[in-house]
Structure 1
Amino acid sequence: MKVFWGAPGTGKTTKAISILADAVEEGRSISYDTFRRNMAKDALYRLLDVVHLSKEERRYISTTHSICFHLLGLKKKDVLTYEGFKKFCENEGLTITLKEYELTQPIPEIDTYDTSGGAFLSLYNNCVNCMIPFDEYEKLPSYMLPAPSRFFDALWLLKNFPKLAERYEQFKQEHRKVDFSDMLRFVYEDELSINSDVHISDETHDKTPLQYAIFKMWTQNCDEVYCCLDFNQRIYSFWGTNLTPLHELESEEIEVLRVSFRLGREQYAYARRILHSQKTPEIECKNSVIIEEQRNFLPALRNLASSTTSIMLLARTKYQLEHIAYLLDAEGIPIVGDPRFSWSSKELKLLSALRNLKEPSNPFRLLDEEESELLLKALSADAFSMEKTRIRRGKIQPLPLTARFLQLLRRDPLKLESFILKSYLKDPTRVLKALATSYNPVKLLTIHGSKGLEADYVFLFDGITRRIQQSIMFKEEFENEQRVWYVGVTRARKKLIIIRSFFPPALSIPFLPSPQEVITHASR
């Protein structure tokens, strides 16, 4: 086994793709697992750019859960959703608060830890992922147990947890459903393996004990095994990731990737200062990244959102994102990223199509296929004079719009825009508001959600919640929180803007220093 340790931007995934592509060219079978879907998709697309993979082979370039899903022969209907889990909670007298769109999400995609139902599910998943029997839950670290809050009685939950877990298992069996933890456990218990010649594990630092046990089972007969990781990006301790597998990996052959093409020198110095005593590699930073501090983010965001599409806004929790999303909607700035606040693809396409139609510089501007299709469906065939579209292989080709169409649009644009939008959307308010601006969509994410991503401009909000402030009294959680902010400050490619004291009451972060102090020291 060989381990690649790389700081952000050092090309861990690029290294993995190169190894996999060479193996395919040599006629060997390959597999690749990672923790998050966006990383798996990126790896697959990049691999398909250089080699051909069959449909079956592509299934093994995915997340650990997705590969388990395939090995078990499951279908989407077999996976328990929050709608089903809500019924279990109602039967057991547990509380859970969900929005309508969350009911169809698979378990455990939604954060609901501040309710008794959410706390139960968190404790259940922690036991499964740490391979600890339900009646021995006290063996879990203290920070992985539910803390008392005004929403539920944590002591009652702990006392009744073993029986609740047993009834939850029965509930799933009766309804013939599995959740994400079941996928991992069943694959491990049934010893279902991939049997590839070359296997690469990306983000190995995020594996729980159960996931690491599956990884070892999958790779016991492989000719070559590689792990791509960064010990300093291990930020999921609350899900059960721990250092035991990583200590084992430290005894393997480790190659440190020494050049980062994303990070700037001052930026990396700032990130290392956040980690304080935790081990970080010496690397060469090829980029130059500006670090600033502000209190009001909107003026800078307005300027940037009008000229660039590479902007990311990061906050520590989803509760904080809600406040930011409200302000972005009020400004008419489209949002992508976190599913709770992100615009739908339909909203974004309609906005793009209508903006393209209003572009005066090109009266015969071409819309792309999706934009053309949306407008054709929204408008009656003879409502406006349009050139005929050509149908090729069942797809609508880009649609040239005549001057008459644009004339009618400009004569009464609000009426036409409103008509098109109401044909598709229950509430077109925010799209109509965005049409009055030139803002590009911005990514709105938690720091955890941004892992593996990057942007030219990153706004990092420094607030934490009281619950986090209490949890960092534990050494492991304090170090985990340091790594969370390390991830946050290393997402920027051009400028990192730290927004101070934005959330009232602003709780202090004891390890996020003044950038100027660090930059001055790094420049000496």
Structure 2
Amino acid sequence: MEYFDLLKSINGIELNDQQIKAASFDRGNALVLSTAGSGKTTVTTVRAGRLLYENKCGGKILTITFSKMAAGDMYNRFYTFFGDSHKNKTDFLTIHAFSYKIVRDFFRRKGVNFELLTNNYQVLSEILKSHYSNSYFNYVSDEEVENLSSSIGFINNMMIDPKEYKDYGIEIKGFDKIYEAYKTYKSQNQLIDFDDMLLYAHKILSNSSNQRENIKRQYEYVQIDEMQDTSKIQHEIIKLISDNNLFMVGDDDQAIYSFRGSYPDFMLDFKNIYRDGEIFYLDNNYRSDKNIVEGAKRFIEKNKKRYIKEINTTNKKENEINIIKVSSRSEQARYITEELRKINGETVGILFRYNISAMILANNLYENSINFYIKEDKSKFFSSPVLYDVLAFLSLALNPKDKSAFSRIYYKSYTYFTKGMCKIVTDSPRDDLTVFDILDNYKYFDYYVYDKIRQFKMDINYINKLRPNDAIRFIKLELEYINYLERMQDEGRNNLSNSLHILEILEEIGSYCSNIKEFTEKIENLQGVIKKASENIAANVTLTTIHSAKGLEYDQVYIVDNIDGEFPSDRKNMNAENYERLLEEERRIFYVGITRAKRKLNIIIPDRPSLFVNELLSANKSNC
């Protein structure tokens, strides 16, 4: 029986002509360009089964993808389709798992012992603290550590000299020195992290022809899923072991991981890199309403650096794309809550560009007893330095003797108090005095300092008279906390837009509270709500970033916070070329969000409409 007939009769798998053509490719280099919802994973899995069924493969087939979940999904699909008859002939691995095997085996033969650094947070945190030890702003936040970790990963994956970091938009001052300090720490302690798996694997394969040939003999065929997510070093590793026999599947319109070093230019340059290569197209979206597919197609065609390709569907036009204008994020949350009350049994994805957007939504859903799942752990909000600063201001207002609160915020307002003044307070044996009295009793300041001490005391006391949301605005503006945040951004140590968003969230949460004590209790309670929601996998309503929703689908999708200057982000100090590159990726992110929707797509605007909303509206009008 013909293979594709067998699939249909035994497993009920019926491929269209494009899918059959791609899955029938035998040997050489091929690129399968797939649109969203076009069945690319099925094609990759079915091709592996065909090569084995038709005895085309004497060795094993290696299929590489870029997440454990995707590798597990492909493994499960393969064995659902074909059972365990080819159990020893296929491997579905992440690029890191594959590289780690090479490194582990090589070091074992050399008698080198090493340990895997699975979480580098604490190490990077200590290195950053040491780096900033002489700085006025010597506190290190989770956001800074994550930014550093991401920047190191980008440098490694793009195979860039760390000394050239400024040319690639990395704003961490002295990044090259921090990079070298981290590298030295790992070497001294015989540690390797996830990036090192790739760096060492590439070095081993580049320097050892025996190693390369062993892998080529082991894996006769190599397949790559999600090709658009491949970084430079990952692609170089794949080229070294593929023996000019590489089957790549991906969608250049869904390349959204440049912050991790993904390099979709390999797809766009396919014909230059693999001159004998063949290109196949999967252009039928099986997932979405035709209105969504056509709107998404016209929208993504705004990008210039992409393959020109058809994007079609046989699905009907049933629901227009719904664009909703509201006055604020809090009204956005209330609108969604009311809409969710009308939905029965359908899956709903509430998607956003940045994790922080979940907080107002989550709080509102909880207040209204809506069951939901948060795909990522949002505890980063609860460890935000902005949150801790606000709580410290409020704590000092409640208890002017709180030395710990004072030591956190003494330099973060208009006062510009010095480290020496903080030390006077923290070293004072007088726990019965307020921090202001301790400073006022000190006799050696210049006269104008006492005026600042007394004014600050009056302002801190005034906070007690305000409702929490008004108190937060007072801290931001009247105490000039916003000026401190701006200085931190100038230092390359935070993102002002994110910080202001956190303040906005705190104001919204504060609007539900009548006093500071109730506000702090609500923050603590919300942390428990978020933790519980992150375990609530069975809920029909999911809150997630667009990045984490990639590969998923929902009956209804709400894309929120479509605000001018936020999504896409502001140009800042970028030149025209770099901004155009950023804008095209941001447009792809929005496109990925759009194409998660099966039946209904809702775009919500809680402020001035973003560029992308206007482009989507314009594209739809031009089709009328």
Could you say whether these structures have the same fold, taking a TM-score greater than 0.5 normalized by the shorter chain as the test? yes
CA distance in 1 between partners of 2:270 and 2:374 (Å): 33
Matched, 1:227 2:271: no
By how many angstroms is 1:430 displaced? 5.0
SS of the residue corresponding to residue 191 of structure 2 reads coil
Aligned ranges for residues 123-522 of structure 1 at < 5 Å?
A: 123-140=151-168, 144-146=169-171, 154=172, 157=173, 160-191=174-205, 194-195=215-216, 196-220=219-243, 224-251=245-272, 252-275=277-300, 276-278=302-304, 279=306, 280-288=308-316, 290=319, 291-294=321-324, 295=326, 296-304=335-343, 306-308=344-346, 310-341=347-378, 440-464=539-563, 466=566, 468-470=569-571, 474-501=579-606, 506=607, 508-513=609-614, 518-519=619-620, 521-522=622-623
SS of residue in 1 equivalent to 2:104: coil
Give 1:322 deviation, angstroms. 2.5
2:77 is aligned to: 46
Alignment root-mean-square deviation, CA: 3.4
Counterpart-to-counterpart distance in 1, 2:223 and 2:282: 16
C-alpha distance after superposition, 1:389-421 (max 9, x if no partner)? xxxxxxxxxxxxxxxxxxxxxxxxxxxxxxxxx
Q: CA deviation at 1:87?
A: 3.0
Question: How far apart in 2 are the matches of 1:341 and 1:427?
Answer: 11
Change (3 A) 1:519 1:448: same
Asked whether the equivalents of residues 33 and 200 of structure 1 are also in contact (C-alpha less than 8 Å), the reply is yes
- CA shift for structure 1 position 189: 0.8
Q: For 1:293, give the aligned amino acid.
A: I
C-alpha distance in structure 2 between counterparts of 1:56 and 1:165, whole Å:
43
Amino acid at match of 1:463: N
Identity %: 23
Structure 2, gaps ≥5 residues long: 1-28, 106-113, 133-137, 206-210, 327-334, 380-524
Contact 2:562 2:613 in 1 (8 A): no
Equivalence for 2:455: none
Three-state SS of the structure 1 residue aligned to 2:571 is helix
The SS at the match of 1:260 is coil
Sort the Cα spacing of 1:76 and 1:11 in 2 relative to 1 into closer, same or farther, 3 A. farther
Distance in 2, matches of 1:5 and 1:208, equals 18
Q: Is the Cα–Cα contact under 8 Å of residues 252 and 264 in structure 2 kept in the other structure?
A: no
Contact 1:59–1:67, Cα closer than 8 Å, also in 2: no
Question: CA contact under 8 A between 1:6 and 1:230: conserved in structure 2?
Answer: yes
Shift of 1:17: 0.7
Shift of 1:455: 1.2
Taking a change above 3 Å as real, the CA distance of residues 138 and 86 of structure 1, as seen in their structure-2 partners, is closer
Give the one of 141, 151, 161 matched to 1:97: 141
Is this contact kept in 2: 1:132–1:139, CA < 8 A?
no
1:66 aligned onto 2:97: yes
- Deviation, structure 1 residue 190: 1.0
Provide the TM-score with structure 2 as the length reference.
Answer: 0.58
Number of aligned residues? 399
- What per-residue deviation string (whole Å, max 9, x for no partner) do you get for residues 109-147 of structure 1? xxx3xx2x333333322221111122233443xxx322x
Q: Which 5+ residue runs of structure 1 have no aligned equivalent?
A: 99-111, 147-153, 343-425
CA offsets 1:272-294 (integer angstroms, 9 cap, x no match): 23221435422331224622123
Q: Which moved more, 1:83-92 or 1:207-216?
A: 83-92
SS of residue paired to 2:100:
helix
